[in-house]
Amino acid sequence: MSAFPFVDPLYHEPIGRYAHSPEFERVLTDVLLESWSVERSGVWMAARPPWRRYPDQGFKLHVSAVPDDAEEILRRVAMICGETATEFKCAADPRLLSHINSKRASRGSSGKFMTLYPESDHAFEGLAARLAEATAEFDGPYILSDRRVPGSRCVFYRYGGFSRRSRMRPDGTREYLIRGVDGSDLPDRRQPFFALPEGIADPFPPEDAASGGDLRIGDRFEIREALAFSNTGGVYLATDLATGADAVLKEARPHTSSWSMQDGYLDAVGMLEHEHAVLTDLAGTGVTVQPLGLHRAWEHTFLAQSFAPGEPLRSFRGRPEIILTTHMDDPERVGQFCGVFHTVARGLLAAVRAVHEAGYVIGDLSPNNIMVDADTLGVTLIDVESAHRPDDRVATLARGWYTPGFRPLDEAGRRAVTPADDLYAAGMALYSLVMPVQHFFRLHPEAAPRFIDRFVAAGLPEEVRDVIAALAAGDADRASDLLDTWAPTLSVPSYA
């Protein structure tokens, strides 16, 4: 794991260079005897008794936690480990715990705030019971690779290696191993589902869970395929059985991607509920997908919404007829690009203004959540969970929700997202049609005008540059006037 951007905002660094905060380490030194060693190891803080007591493999215990409960859970679990001389590790500090539970975390390892290494199967069962009792009032993210210990909502278990036995794969990466019941080496996979090696019996009866074969949500939507997965949940293409139309379902897993707030904390479920409220308020604008309701299935929440035709701008700009960089010497291609740019720019500006007129700022606008219909060039906004009004609960957090390259470079010190930020993002999204290098502008701000000026010198109409510049400056009226008065025509460079 790299510590980007834990150590430096501009460079990837080894996680070992990240200076952790002292909260969790302080708990360990308070609870454990002086004979224990407490040492940082990458993401983890490892706590070891004076002697090594665990086998090479077996059932390990994991404990998950939300940020506000983490220190108390750590204290209680560490006390039990101290009493039983059980080696364990925990996330090194609250920031790393948040990273472990974040949207982009690995689904096979996310949620594992603490890992315990029992010395035997008998010790495992005793520890599991004690941990479940000690943490009975707490809840935590579901660890996808594990099963819950009966009676607990934050203690989990799985079978795996304790020592780091591994072999090298043909591609040079390492694969961790366990030994099968027949003595052969087996991969020790961290998968986003529970699985036991052949010949290993589950020590507990199966927990009550949602049926994995149930593809209907809310008795109305039938899932056809998965479009994407993240640690917070999947995105699925579904059929609306009430209308026969395509629909999209966004899933939220509780306690993932948590944010501490003065009045508690916000997690993926809260964000999905907020997005549903935003879509409901914006439904009449016609510029976003339409909400089709919130639904619960097992412990997860699903936002049903209309299907937006087209594809994200990030992939739309890669269509052969859009790519401009290698075709500046072809007047027909330049003219074709300008026609597309003009239509998409008008649609995008209209969408952003409609959201602003409804009292919202978008917050995180980028080529990832701008859908473009290749047939009509119509624009639809999706994934508007960052959109908010000034008095919304999420407003205090939204300053940090943006895609690098699509937030003004001079934002330091400002406490609120503004309409001008959205206009800047719209300008950079349009700039990405010309050349998708916006994330580099933070390294060299002067490159932003320099790149586009070179394209203009090579024959790109000045209006493309001027529309982008007006939006980047937050001047929606000027951008609108330019688009109204510009009828795209071919612009051929002069080589005289």
Q: Give pLDDT tens digits for 440-450.
A: 998 899 999 99
For residue 280, is pLDDT > 70? yes
> Do 285 and 240 contact (CB within 8 A), yes or no?
no
Most confident of 46-55, 188-197, 220-229: 220-229
Q: What are the start and end residues of each CATH 1.10.510.10 domain in the chain?
A: 311-485
Domain 311-485 listed as CATH 1.10.510.10:
yes
Q: What is the mean pLDDT of residues 150-177?
A: 93
Write the secondary structure of the chain as one string of H (helix), E (strand) and C (coil).
CECCCCCCCCCCCEHHHCCCCCHHHHHHHHHCCCCCEEEEECCEEEEECCCCCCCCEEEEEEECCCHHHHHHHHHHHHHHHHHHCCEEEEECCHHHHHHHCCCCCCCCCCCCCEEEECCCHHHHHHHHHHHHHHCCCCCCCCCCCCEECCCCCCEEEEEEECCCCEEECCCCCEEEEEECCCCCEEECCCCCCCCCCCCCCCCCCCCCCCCCCCCEECCCEEEEEEEEEECCEEEEEEEECCCCCEEEEEEECCCCCCEEECCEEECHHHHHHHHHHHHHHHHHHCCECCEEEEEEECCEEEEEEECCCCEEHHHHCCCCCCCCCCCCCCHHHHHHHHHHHHHHHHHHHHHHHHHHHCCCECCCCCCCCEEECCCCCCEEECCCCCCECCCCHHHHCHHHCCCCCCCCCCCCCCCCCCHHHHHHHHHHHHHHHHCCCHHHCCCCCCHHHHHHHHHHHCCCCHHHHHHHHHHHCCCHHHHHHHHHHCCCCCCCCCCC
Q: What are the start and end residues of each CATH 3.30.2430.10 domain in the chain?
A: 15-187
Q: What is the mean pLDDT of residues 317-344?
A: 92
- Domain 15-187: CATH architecture, name and number where available: 2-Layer Sandwich (3.30)
Angle at which helix 331-357 crosses helix 476-485, to 10 degrees, equals 140
Q: Which has the higher per-residue pLDDT, 13 or 315?
A: 315
Confidence of residue 413 (pLDDT cuts 50, 70, 90): low
For residue 414, is pLDDT > 80? no
Rounded distance between C-alpha atoms, residue 243 and residue 7, angstroms = 51
> Which amino acid is present at 54?
Y
pLDDT for 209: 56
Confidence of residue 150 (pLDDT cuts 50, 70, 90): very high
pTM of the full structure: 0.92
Rg of the chain over CA atoms, in angstroms?
Answer: 26
58-67, 111-120, 221-230, 390-399: which range is least confident on average?
390-399
Q: What are the start and end residues of each CATH 3.30.200.20 domain in the chain?
A: 223-306
The alpha carbon of 67 is separated from its chain's Cα centroid by a whole number of angstroms, namely: 17
> What are the two backbone dihedrals, phi and then psi, of residue 239, each rounded to the nearest 5 degrees?
-105, 130
Q: Which has the higher per-residue pLDDT, 413 or 428?
A: 428
The alpha carbon of 90 is separated from its chain's Cα centroid by a whole number of angstroms, namely: 22
Q: What is the mean pLDDT of residues 48-71?
A: 93
- Contact partners, residue 409, CB within 8 Å, separation at least 6: 441, 442, 445
Rounded distance between C-alpha atoms, residue 60 and residue 121, angstroms = 9
> Do 286 and 336 contact (CB within 8 A), yes or no?
no
| CATH node for 223-306 | 3.30.200.20
Q: What is the mean pLDDT of residues 289-314?
A: 97
The alpha carbon of 285 is separated from its chain's Cα centroid by a whole number of angstroms, namely: 27
pLDDT for 180: 92
Confidence of residue 16 (pLDDT cuts 50, 70, 90): confident
pLDDT for 264: 73
Q: Give pLDDT tens digits for 220-254.
A: 999 999 999 999 999 999 999 999 999 999 999 99
Q: Give pLDDT tens digits for 484-493.
A: 999 885 443 3
pLDDT for 213: 58
Dihedral sign computed on CA atoms, order 429, 432, 436, 441? negative
Residue carrying the six token digits 């961790």: 176
136-140, 342-346, 445-449, 477-481: which range is least confident on average?
445-449
Active site amino acids: 364
Instruction: Report residue 405 as tokens.
Output: 């390259």
105-114, 385-394, 405-414: which range is least confident on average?
405-414
Closest by CA to 313, choosing from 383, 248, 266, is: 383
- Contact partners, residue 380, CB within 8 Å, separation at least 6: 287, 288, 289, 308, 309, 310, 351, 370, 371, 373
Instruction: Report residue 109 as tokens.
Output: 């390892």
pLDDT for 364: 96
Mean pLDDT of the chain: 92
- Beta bridge mates, 452: none
Give the CA distances from residue 388 to residues 241, 261, 384, 459, in Å, rounded to whole numbers and listed in that order: 31, 16, 9, 40
Q: Which has the higher per-residue pLDDT, 429 or 322?
A: 429
- Beta bridge mates, 14: 2
